[in-house]
Structure 1
Amino acid sequence: MPHRTRIKICGLTRPSDLHCAAAAGADAVGFVLYPPSVRALTPAQAGALARLLPPFVTPVLLYVNPSAAEVQAGLAEVPHALLQFHGDESPAQCQALAQGRPYLRAARIPLSADAARFDLLEYAELHAGAQALLLDAQVPGYGGAGHSFDWTAFDWSHPALNASSRLVLSGGLTPANVADGVRLLRPWAVDVSSGVEAARGIKCPDLIARFVAAVRLADTALAAPQPLTSPPSCPPPPPPP
């Protein structure tokens, strides 16, 4: 079957934004439980939004260097959430905080030419316990700044990366560039926050709809049969009788 790229809309703060994301076809929505963020929610606020979700849309709780008590407070409000660790957590800390639950681990990749110095293969091996790696740009404030890393810095065909089932592309995605990211990496999912906002923390319905449409068009293009580079040769005519 053709691959369908999953879509996560992150940094939701209002019921209207949540309804818009779900209606557009988002597979997951992210709630930021990191107080310094402009998109930060309390556990109670995240729980109130999560209870508005329709079936089969996954809530994700985003943490940055949390304590065990902070993770438990979020899970008490959103018990069926997927966890996302976006700070400097070690593999052992991620597994201890998750307590057997599936989680995403953010890989914060340096910008510009420094991206190639980031050993993504080693990082993927270190965090083999994560359900997926979320690839984001390394910026002050742990993401949400609208910056992309160099997508050409890595060999996405390497078996250890296994892009189609374990990588989530994030960082600076917009309706204008997400199709390029899908075609290049062919990730399991894409994750957007600032790229679909009218203002910091306020999502734009039109941008969300355009983002989802761009991903779906990219999937359709990848699933289409590729044209032959040259016409097939015809068999020679039969000899005359």
Structure 2
Amino acid sequence: MRTRAKICGITRIEDVHAAVDAGVDAIGFVFYEPSPRHVTVQHAQQLVKHIPAYVSIVGLFVNATSDEIAQVLAEVPLDILQFHGDETAAQCQQIARKHQRRWYKAIQVKPDLDVIAEIKQYHQAGASAMLLDAWHPELKGGTGHCFDWEKFPKLDIPLILAGGLTPENIEDAIKTTDAYAVDVSGGVEFAKGIKDQQLIQQFMQGVQRGSAQ
């Protein structure tokens, strides 16, 4: 089975086309204003018109209220909610049930965190997957840093690898972690929020090579 791949933080129509042409499984939009990859609801509306069927649309939220998420869902047909803040398992479950969406939670792999316990807590609350990202004291994702892939858990739960992934290291990352899916943003950019078509192609080629083990 090929490792699934998501390109996150897309802000331009040409980058949507580049991702789709490269064979990505999901495209992510960041609905978090402090992020340099933030898109408004109106902007996202225009972008999703260029995403064909069988490519999932993911909305990334950081500590958003249920009402704020509802405002996005009223205009943007998100398939999956990605909670990337300090949301508890109960909060994620409540919001997802209210809006009838699948969801997953991103956790930052801190040195003192019991990662497996954290994963199981959210999975039991109904998470479709769990995303493991590098820890940063200030940033909520998009750090450009990796964590120790040797510490990536081996669980019977879909786990998504993120943090510092690039076309150069993605093959090794997949072979080391055997992740269900990978999530990249900065590693395929030439500027914040501006993707590079060639890097996207090279990244997806690395995903293919890493999956063929």
Q: Under a length normalisation based on structure 2, what TM-score does the superposition of the two structures give?
A: 0.94
Letter in structure 1 aligned against 2:139: G
Alignment pair present for 1:109 and 2:109: yes
Give the superposition deviation at 1:141: 2.1
Question: Identity of aligned pairs, percent?
Answer: 45
Counterpart in the other structure of 1:141: 139
CA contact (8 A) 1:9 1:28 kept: yes
Deviation of residue 98 (structure 1)? Answer: 1.2
CA RMSD of aligned residues (A): 1.2
* Structure 1 residues 154-194: Cα deviation after superposition (integer angstroms, max 9, x where no partner): 4x33xxx22xx510100100011111111111111100000
Distance 1:143 1:94 in 2: 18
Residues 149 and 173 in structure 2, CA contact (< 8 A), matched pair in contact too: yes
Which of 162, 171, 177 is residue 169 of structure 2 equivalent to?
A: 177
Matched-pair contact (CA < 8 Å) for 2:57–2:77: no
Query: Aligned ranges for residues 33-52 of structure 1 at < 5 Å?
Result: 33-52=31-50
Where do 1:215-226 residues align within 5 Å?
215-220=207-212, 222=213
Q: Tell whether the 8 Å contact from 1:75 to 1:81 is kept in structure 2 after alignment.
A: no
8 A contact 1:109–1:137 mirrored in 2: yes
Unaligned 5+ residue runs, structure 2?
A: none
User: C-alpha separation between the residues in 1 aligned to 2:200 and 2:105?
Assistant: 24
CA distance in 1, matches of 2:210, 2:163: 18
AA at the equivalent of 1:190: V
Whole-Å Cα distance in 1 between the matches of residues 36 and 186 of structure 2?
11
- In structure 2, give the amino acid aligned to 1:105: K
Cα deviation for residue 81 of structure 1 reads 2.2
Distance in 1 (alpha carbons) for counterparts of 2:49 and 2:79: 11
Counterpart amino acid of 2:45? G
Partner Cα distance (1:98, 1:44) in 2: 22
Size of the aligned set, in residue pairs, is 208
| 2:3 paired with 1:5 | yes
Counterpart amino acid of 2:208? R
Greater C-alpha radius of gyration = 1
Alpha-carbon deviation of 1:4?
Answer: 0.9
Q: Name the SS of the counterpart of 2:85 in structure 1.
A: coil
1:48 is matched by which residue type in structure 2? Q
> 1:55 and 2:53 equivalent?
yes
User: What's 1:211 paired with?
Assistant: 203
Gap runs ≥5 in structure 1: 223-241
TM-score by length of 1: 0.83
| Secondary structure of 2:58's aligned partner | strand
